Structure 1
């Protein structure tokens, strides 16, 4: 039996059910493996009191510290998040918080490997704790944890050092693997570990019926992602402005909402473009199945789950050449990789609307992205690290 301690600061909770939902799905899949026993630590970074009781931090401060989360024994320790420091002290504060907790857990659960499912601040803390307990550590890179934290001055050294010290590394795409190696992480220790998609839930439906439920008659573009600059929703809005009669629905929430709402009003698109706000992950399948195209103009990604979920729904995608885009859009049937500009996106969307590929053919592009494959690969990776450590110690 493989005993795994999964560590992830990117994980859902009662106040944020969509936060890190793909980390949750990966963790639940591994925990369900007959050869695995798993415990979860999902730390919460909070600023000093009284800031920790205000704004979006307030719900986090009231979460239980120990609970059963969908069958997983879960700890949610708090670590100090110092505002204005650029994350410089996040990993150190997290390590200080986790050391006594993991020692307590280890008294009853002798975990053999630490599975850090997000690179920062989880990765550097996992390395320190792995060394403390004499066990191997795996760290997974997903996107911003490398593209942001791995490149800004306060934290880049910590991220790179953790990558160099880890027993094993996971990357969500070949492109992410290349980015990690370019930072100085050992390429031979980096394994590509693609995300999964629930092919039973995300599947083609009666498109006309799903559009009717949304009161839409005509072409529909959907974009799924947080309302932050990196996701490029403004580019997609400008693209749709150049496509008469085309509707756009944006599923996501975030600080860019006022600016995007002002853009929609300025362009006179209020009757065609709607900000849906946060949409529960369970409610995405009918929305994606209703769409003619899923368009997301991200400046950086690892390998976005929304890409694969759209394809599984039979909906082609238009995305820039970011992250693992070329690993997903492998043929014109799956969609288009376009320059990150409104004219290029408008042209690509227009091509797909003019000659829509068969939805079953689009879905075939997602066939290789399953949670079963994700679980099998993760189990193989972690058991290999434990075996290698045992051999080197023997």
Structure 2
């Protein structure tokens, strides 16, 4: 099989797996202690968590703290719900459902427009009662990079907080300019089930999930040393490999552009993460295409919204018709993808598309 769905999840890095194994030891080992216990095994587990916290923080702005969560969805809920009640939450029209649904449930939601390129420009008016602005760093469906620094300044000018969903950006590009940042380990070659919320110093949040307050009094629940250690190792590896990974991805993008030259690109051709190729072909039956290309793992959009039957809200927001949105596919590649895999996948997908 050829895996081209890196926006949905990434392969676990061997280094992350190795870091996890010690903390999965059962009887006879010392790695299964509760990191919140005061005895020696608990302190050992806690030390592993604090090391990972430093590793994760190394790719985030200085002057903040990392709060571990079960993933980005929980981190987003903590950021939006914990930052206050009432008022308006301004969000870009192409945010992930975790942001859109939480913002709609937590207060009045104000939608920010995006250009045809997929960028959400920071010259838009905000409601006078805006308390939080949420614009993601890199879009998960079309790969467009957003002007996060501009939005942070815009939010500050409105006396609001700025939340940056950096799930698709962390470990790939520099993440700067925010009050709250959410990340998820399995998007950068770490394990599933662990993520984090970065909170700028001076930003006060209220506890959303009560029951012990293990993480700075804001997030309750026993942390998994194995998952946290895996996330830390994946973060450290991403930091070391960031430039090499980016060069590799851009080379794959160039080759993919040659192979899919007769498809239309969705989103900006330049302001983007080049490991995300969202393309369309007129009249394409995507369901049939995916059935005919079972050797290639790719997507018709966000994995979280797959099977809904509705056209992508992201593609609709950039001006595509229902038919154009439903004739689009997303190919995601990264660190462990080879050029030979891109070429083989293109042959399979193009042959199946041409046969329709």
- State the TM-score, normalizing by the size of structure 1: 0.28
* Structure ranking higher in helix proportion: 1
- State the TM-score, normalizing by the size of structure 2: 0.30
Q: Which has the higher contact order (CA 8 A, sep 6+)?
A: 2
